[in-house]
A = this chain, B = another copy of it.
């Protein structure tokens, strides 16, 4: 694909962003783009691409349905769309060009529930491809999907010998889709897995060969159930869900640090009670814990659960804890990162190659990386620099479209190289 084709595809996806598990138009548009390539691909779509039983952090049905109805208004293949109904989004494209090796490339495709900026200095607005939805590609997944398609096209036309699988993964933003894709059968024979992300504060022309420092993460949603009472007339008859929650929040942040490595905790969302004069009957807390390793995350989760339980007990409340979405930690294999670094150094437009950088946050690509590593394969998460005016997840985020080509070239080059070096 030419640069202008990449740009055009990316802009089309940018115009119609869809949040996690609602990537109906997006998946259908990706399938359409893949089918238009001159390549002999096997396509697995929706329930054939993911293991539907392992979808995490699913939104309400009504939410899913509303976005599905919206997608039906667009000019996309109705059969493809129908197969995605109910939130079975995503796709896997397979290109067989030889026995071995099997190389995987994972790109994510979802947007964020945020309104895009509309100022004249925001290029998508100025150039007419601002989001038409109540959502926004504020993290660059539109360019990830585009690079994925660009790589297949390039590999189809190359000397690569082996099998290439491109994973168009849904629901990364809620760390909800990685597990479903990892638990599909498509990862079983993958020898090398590449994943990619644009930006991350690296400018256009910079490549990070192997990103590390993925924190394992787990969400906890706790609801405290107390007993309402009139706060003036009968304070002693209440069982105060707000007090339970406050005690929990104070003690969650105070879970001991761990000498094995970094841990995190956040009581991100709190909500409780109905009126100033009523002892709160119900209070809700959405929290998350993280760890530099999966074990450290589990340490935090176990301690956090104890805090929630004891805080409920202290104020005589009942407690429901739902463990929500979750992702393990993972590491980029040095052996594979070295190949990326070599290729990148020789790629047009790449001015600087960093061997390593730390993500600091979490990513559910780790589910796929570990799946591959556990059966003996190698995995590497590659950073493709791009100048981005606003920070990730902000309303003024945008990518420098020059980096689409860098992404395609570095990944294609790496895929070709590993097929050559394989005995």
Which of B250, B258, B286, B287 has a CB less than 8 Å from the CB of A243?
Answer: B250
Residues of A228-265 whose CB lies within 8 A of B? 230-236, 238, 240, 242-243, 245-247, 249-251, 253-254, 256-260, 262-265
B240 touches A256 (CB 8 A): yes
Which of B245, B267, B271, B277 has a CB less than 8 Å from the CB of A266?
Answer: B277
A245-B246, A245-B270, A269-B276 known; A238 and B253 CB under 8 Å?
Answer: no
Docked CA distance A247–B315 (Å): 13
- Interface size of A as a range: 35 or more
SS of A interface (majority): mixed
A257 touches B246 (CB 8 A): no
B269 touches A269 (CB 8 A): no
A257 to chain B: which residues have CB within 8 Å? 235-236, 257, 262-265
A287 to chain B: which residues have CB within 8 Å? 276
A173 → B minimal CB distance (Å):
10
Of A19-27, A78-86, A304-312, which binds chain B? A304-312
Asked whether any CB of chain B lies closer than 8 Å to the CB of A180, the reply is: no
Docked CA distance A301–B331 (Å): 33
A276 touches B270 (CB 8 A): no
Asked whether any CB of chain B lies closer than 8 Å to the CB of A275, the reply is: yes
A260 to chain B: which residues have CB within 8 Å? 236
A276-B288, A277-B288 known; A268 and B310 CB under 8 Å?
Answer: no
A47 to chain B: which residues have CB within 8 Å? none
Contact with B along A337-369 (1 / 0, CB 8 A): 000000000000000000000011110000000
Asked whether any CB of chain B lies closer than 8 Å to the CB of A274, the reply is: yes
Asked whether any CB of chain B lies closer than 8 Å to the CB of A278, the reply is: yes
A243-B254, A246-B245, A362-B232 known; A268 and B259 CB under 8 Å?
Answer: no
B230 touches A361 (CB 8 A): yes
A243-B250, A256-B235 known; A219 and B276 CB under 8 Å?
Answer: yes
Docked CA distance A324–B243 (Å): 22
A361 touches B306 (CB 8 A): no
Which of B236, B250, B278, B316 has a CB less than 8 Å from the CB of A299?
Answer: B236
A to B CB contacts below 8 Å, 14 in the list:
A231-B264, A231-B268, A233-B259, A235-B257, A236-B259, A243-B250, A253-B254, A259-B360, A266-B279, A269-B273, A269-B274, A270-B271, A275-B286, A276-B286
Give A residues with C-beta under 8 Å from B.
215, 217, 219, 230-236, 238, 240, 242-243, 245-247, 249-251, 253-254, 256-260, 262-280, 283, 286-288, 290, 299, 306-307, 309-311, 313-314, 316, 324, 359-362
Other A-B pairs, 15, CB within 8 Å; known A231-B288, A270-B273, A276-B287: A231-B268, A231-B290, A233-B361, A236-B299, A251-B314, A257-B262, A266-B276, A266-B278, A268-B273, A268-B277, A269-B273, A269-B280, A271-B272, A276-B286, A310-B313
